[in-house]
Amino acid sequence: MSTPPSAHALPVLLLLAGAVMASAENNKYCHPSDKAALLAIKSAFRNQSHFASWTPSTPCCEWHDATCNDAGRVISLIFFVDVNLTGTIPDAISGLTELLVLNLYYLPAISGPIPKGIAKLSNLTSLSISLTAVSGPIPSFLGALTKLRELTLSSNFLSGAIPASLGGLRYFDSVDLRNNSLTGTIPPLFSNSKSPDITYLGLSHNHLSGSIPAEFAAVGFVQVDLSHNALIGDASVFFGRTKELQSIDLSHNALSFDLSSVEFPEEMQAMDASHNAIRGGIPAQVANVTNLRQFNVSYNKLCGQVPAALARLDVYSFRHNKCLCGAPLPDPCKK
Ligand SMILES: *[C@@H]1O[C@H](CO)[C@@H](O)[C@H](O)[C@H]1NC(C)=O
Ligand SMILES: *[C@@H]1O[C@H](CO)[C@@H](O)[C@H](O)[C@H]1NC(C)=O
Ligand SMILES: *[C@@H]1O[C@H](CO)[C@@H](O)[C@H](O)[C@H]1NC(C)=O
Ligand SMILES: *[C@@H]1O[C@H](CO)[C@@H](O)[C@H](O)[C@H]1NC(C)=O
Ligand SMILES: *[C@@H]1O[C@H](CO)[C@@H](O)[C@H](O)[C@H]1NC(C)=O
Ligand SMILES: *[C@@H]1O[C@H](CO)[C@@H](O)[C@H](O)[C@H]1NC(C)=O
């Protein structure tokens, strides 16, 4: 399983570090709506010792986990690694109306659904709930968060379909729903997005089925992980010589298409398409992909000669195909 795009985390942390310094100076005051919402969260998470700094005598902008802007409004709330926090995300989180970033990371005892109140956080640009016991569906009301750029709901117990409403979001550029129990087909995410070419899509380790949306041909994906699902049909929409795609994992699906007519993106560094039913041959144009470090097409139905440019790779990248031949495989190609 590939790692999440850590490049996303750093700018957010730097932004927050700046905001923390500003808040210490400027916020002697705490907006009543923010304070009420934070106290509801404290109570819903069972008033644990975690909340020791959340006292009535200090302004809520000085409470641990919360960060304010210069106007004294809470703009980010980040709970990071705490096995002791139990309970559910309260609907009253809706009171944090200026929130830009909500991040719940590795809180394995936080359970229950994603509350409706989140739909009221209309300034939210980044919503991340990861490694928790949160369950139920991915609500379609998340499509109302019109400023959302990044949605991370990986490693929870979410089920049901990915709501089509997410396809309408204009600034969407990162969707990570890996490692849940999602079913149904992939909707045409990003089809309304005005974001530049930096799109990340992670849907691996779910139970998604059906084919890959044709609309993905117009999206500037940089990193894609659809591995370990039950996807069928054609994945060639992700490819094309001039695309910005750097890494793609399509492994462990039931994809079947002809690889011969694909042109690999020249920026591509890694491709795992193992354990599918891909046919045809490996295009010679792969020789022009100069930074390729991983290329795995094992367990497919490919035929023909492995291009000489790939002879340096491990034999396990090519094994278990219909009739691939030539180095690094031991089978010589018939003249
Ligand atoms: C947390 O504390 C508040 C205020 O003291 C109280 O009203 C609430 O019932 C407490 N919640 C839990 C789960 O103990
Ligand atoms: C969790 O609770 C235990 C027992 O109260 C405590 O020793 C530990 O420090 C707590 N851990 C965190 C991360 O707060
Ligand atoms: C939140 O959104 C409102 C309305 O769109 C806007 O006036 C306000 O400036 C935003 N707040 C922040 C912190 O961006
Ligand atoms: C998948 O999610 C479960 C539940 O949160 C978690 O325990 C597990 O570590 C996750 N697996 C990976 C590879 O992240
Ligand atoms: C590699 O790229 C060059 C320049 O774009 C092109 O002329 C050549 O045909 C390409 N080679 C293959 C094998 O596609
Ligand atoms: C390619 O994928 C197969 C099947 O998942 C795996 O056994 C093999 O180790 C991979 N090859 C390389 C070089 O990583």
Q: Using CB atoms within 10 A of its CB, is residue 32 exposed (0-12), middle (13-18) or buried (19+)?
A: exposed
Please tell me if the CB atom of residue 284 comes closer than 6 angstroms to any atom of ligand 5.
yes
Q: How far is the CA of 43 from the centre of ligand 1 (A)?
A: 5
Token pair listed for 316: 């396990």
Cα(226)–Cα(186) distance, integer angstroms:
10
Region of 55 on the Ramachandran plot (φ > 0 left; ψ -120 to 50 alpha; else beta): beta
Cβ–Cβ under 8 Å, residues 209 and 184: yes
- CA 161 to each of CA 109, 177, 180, 208, 261: distance values in angstroms, whole numbers, following the listed order: 24, 11, 11, 8, 32
The residue nearest atom 14 of ligand 1, judged by CA position, is 46
Residue 173's φ and ψ, nearest 5 degrees, are -140, 0
Relative to the alpha carbon of 253, which ligand is closest? 6
Cα(120)–Cα(130) distance, integer angstroms:
21
Cα(125)–Cα(113) distance, integer angstroms:
20
Cα(243)–Cα(102) distance, integer angstroms:
32
- Tell me 332's DSSP state: P
Token pair listed for 100: 């830009």
**pTM of the complete model:** 0.90
Q: Which residue type, as a one-letter code, is found at position 276?
A: N
Q: Which of 77, 80, 12, 83 is nearest to 40 (CA)?
A: 77
Residues whose beta carbon lies within 6 Å of some atom of ligand 2: 50, 82, 84
Q: What's the angle, vertex CA 190, arms to CA 188 and CA 191, rounded to 5?
A: 65
- CA 288 to each of CA 116, 269, 308: distance values in angstroms, whole numbers, following the listed order: 49, 12, 12
- 97 CA: nearest ligand 3 atom: 1
Q: Ligand 5: which of 288, 290, 305, 310 to mutate, judged by most atoms within 8 Å of the beta carbon?
A: 288
pLDDT digit of tens for each residue in the chain (335 aa)? Answer: 344 444 444 444 445 544 444 444 444 678 999 999 999 999 999 999 999 999 988 899 999 999 999 889 999 999 999 999 999 999 999 999 999 999 999 999 999 999 999 999 999 999 999 999 999 999 999 999 999 999 999 999 999 999 999 998 988 899 999 999 999 999 999 888 776 667 999 999 999 999 999 999 999 999 999 999 999 999 999 999 999 999 999 999 999 999 999 999 999 999 999 999 999 999 999 999 999 999 999 999 999 999 999 999 999 999 999 999 999 999 899 86
